[in-house]
Amino acid sequence: MNVWNHITHFAFALREFVAPTYRPERHYMRGPGPACARRLGTPAAFH
């Protein structure tokens, strides 16, 4: 069974290298939005 685990791990690593899983949180961290500004009582400088 240990060999099978190595094979599946290698196949998963190869697949992630060739076609990585899409994770938007890794790319689109834009910061706090207008709801956060309203909670804190600060004016929203950017719209």
Q: Which of 5, 24, 2, 1 is nearest to 13 (CA)?
A: 5
pLDDT tens across 17-35, in order? 898 888 777 777 677 778 8
Cα dihedral 32/34/40/44 (nearest 10): 100
Instruction: Count H helices and E strands in the chain, helices first.
Output: 2, 0
Q: What is the mean pLDDT of the chain?
A: 81
Can you give the C-alpha Rg of the chain in angstroms? 21
**What's the token pair of residue 23?**
């994770």
31/25 Cα distance (integer angstroms): 11
pTM of the model: 0.44
